[in-house]
C-alpha cells in the first residue's frame, strides 16, 4: 500500500512528489512520457522566478531533485482510478497500484486543427513541438498556426533555424504578450497572415508542400507554400481516464479546493489539468507544493 500515487511527471507532479516524499510519504510517480512534461517542449524558460534556462534542463533538474527524497517513478499510461472506501486503486496496463491518496497532474495535450491529412502527415511535416522537430526544417519554410504566447514563442524559436516562418492567425490581432510581439516584430524572416484559418494540407509525393487557408471574413481559399506545419491553437485537458469519477467540469478540467482536493475525498489534482486562470510552470509548482504538503500532513 503506497501513501501517494501521482499521475503525471510534469512540474506539478514532480513538485508534489518532492514535498510529499521529503515529509516522509511513500510516493510513486507514473507517466507515459519523459519526466518534465511540457518543459521538454519549451526552448527557453524566461518567466520562472530566479531561473533562466532551457526547458529540458529545468525538467531534468526537477526530476533529479524529486527522486532525491525517495520518490519512485515508473512509466505507463493510467487507464482507470478506482475509488474504494479506505483506499484507491490505480490501473496501468496490466498492473494495479493500491494507494491511500491519488494526485492527478496529467496536464494538457495539444489541440488538433481537425483538417484533412493532419493525422496522416503528423510526424511527416506536421509537428506539435518546434523544439523537437524544428532542426529537421533547417533552411526551409515552415508555418506556425496560432496567435497566442505558445505560437509566437515557437515562431521566434523557429526563425533562428529555418529560412522563413509564416504565422497564420485566425483573428486580426495577436493574443500573445506584448513582450513576445515586440520580439516577433524584430524578426525579418517572419511573415504574418491575419484573418486566416487552416482549411486543409497540400501534399505532393507524401511530403507537405502547403497549408491551404480560408479567409475568416470572405471565405476565400488560398495556399501558403510550406514544408512544415506547427499548430499551436490551444490545449485540452487529459482527463478521459477519470470521467467515471464525475470530477471534471464541462470543459474537461478538474475543479479543486484550497488543498487541491477534488470533490472525491482522497483524490487530488494539480497543475494545468485543474480549473484555473493561469497555466504556467510557476502555478503548476505552486499547486504541487500545496497538494504534496497537505497529503503528507494527512498521513501523520
CATH classification at residue 168: 3.50.50.60
- Domain ends where: 215, 231, 247? 231
Mean pLDDT of 31-36: 93
Count of domains observed in the chain: 2
Residues 17, 90 share a domain: yes
SS3 139: coil
How does pLDDT run across 241-295, given as a tens digit for each residue? Answer: 999 999 999 999 999 999 999 999 999 999 999 999 999 999 999 999 999 999 9
Residue 47: pLDDT over 90: no
Rounded Cα gap, residues 254 and 261, in angstroms: 10
How does pLDDT run across 146-174, given as a tens digit for each residue? Answer: 999 999 999 999 999 999 999 999 999 99
Residue 132: pLDDT over 90: no
Mean pLDDT of 87-94: 94
Domain that holds residue 239: 2-109+235-298
- pTM of this prediction exceeds 0.85: yes
SS3 assignment for 222-245: EEEECCEEEECCCEEECCHHHHHH
Catalytic residues, by residue number, are 129, 132-133
CB atoms within 10 A of CB 39: 25
Residue 116: pLDDT over 90: yes
Q: Please count the CA atoms within 13 angstroms of the CA of 35 that sit on its side-chain side.
A: 23
Give 44's pLDDT tier (boundaries 50, 70, 90). confident
Amino acid at each position: 500500500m503506497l501513501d501517494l500515487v501521482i499521475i503525471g511527471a510534469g512540474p506539478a507532479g514532480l513538485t508534489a512528489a518532492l514535498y510529499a516524499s521529503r515529509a516522509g510519504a511513500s510516493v510513486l510517480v507514473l507517466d507515459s512520457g519523459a519526466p518534465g512534461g511540457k518543459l521538454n517542449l519549451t526552448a527557453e524558460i524566461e518567466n520562472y522566478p530566479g531561473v533562466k534556462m532551457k526547458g529540458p534542463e529545468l525538467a531534468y533538474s526537477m526530476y533529479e531533485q524529486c527522486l532525491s527524497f525517495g520518490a519512485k517513478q515508473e512509466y505507463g499510461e493510467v487507464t482507470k482510478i478506482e475509488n474504494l472506501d479506505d483506499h484507491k486503486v490505480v490501473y496501468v496496463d496490466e498492473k494495479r497500484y493500491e494507494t491511500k491518496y491519488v494526485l492527478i497532474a496529467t496536464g494538457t495535450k495539444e489541440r488538433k486543427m481537425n483538417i484533412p491529412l493532419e493525422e496522416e502527415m503528423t510526424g511527416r511535416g506536421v509537428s506539435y513541438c518546434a523544439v523537437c522537430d524544428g532542426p529537421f526544417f533547417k533552411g526551409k519554410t515552415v508555418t506556425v498556426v496560432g496567435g497566442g504566447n505558445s505560437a509566437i514563442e515557437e515562431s521566434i524559436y523557429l526563425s533562428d533555424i529555418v529560412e522563413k516562418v509564416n504565422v497564420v492567425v485566425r483573428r486580426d490581432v495577436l493574443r500573445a504578450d506584448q513582450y513576445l510581439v515586440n520580439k516577433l516584430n524584430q524578426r525579418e524572416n517572419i511573415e504574418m497572415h491575419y484573418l486566416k484559418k487552416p482549411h486543409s494540407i497540400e501534399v505532393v509525393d507524401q511530403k507537405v508542400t502547403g497549408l491551404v487557408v480560408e479567409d475568416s471574413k470572405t471565405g476565400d481559399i488560398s495556399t501558403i507554400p510550406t514544408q512544415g506545419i506547427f499548430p499551436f491553437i490551444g490545449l485540452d485537458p487529459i482527463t478521459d481516464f477519470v470521467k467515471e469519477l464525475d470530477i471534471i467540469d464541462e470543459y474537461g478540467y478538474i475543479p479543486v479546493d484550497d488543498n487541491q482536493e477534488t470533490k472525491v475525498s482522497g483524490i487530488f489534482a494539480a497543475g494545468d489539468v485543474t480549473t484555473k486562470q493561469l497555466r504556467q510552470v510557476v502555478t503548476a509548482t505552486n499547486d504541487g507544493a500545496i497538494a504534496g504538503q497537505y497529503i503528507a500532513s494527512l498521513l501523520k
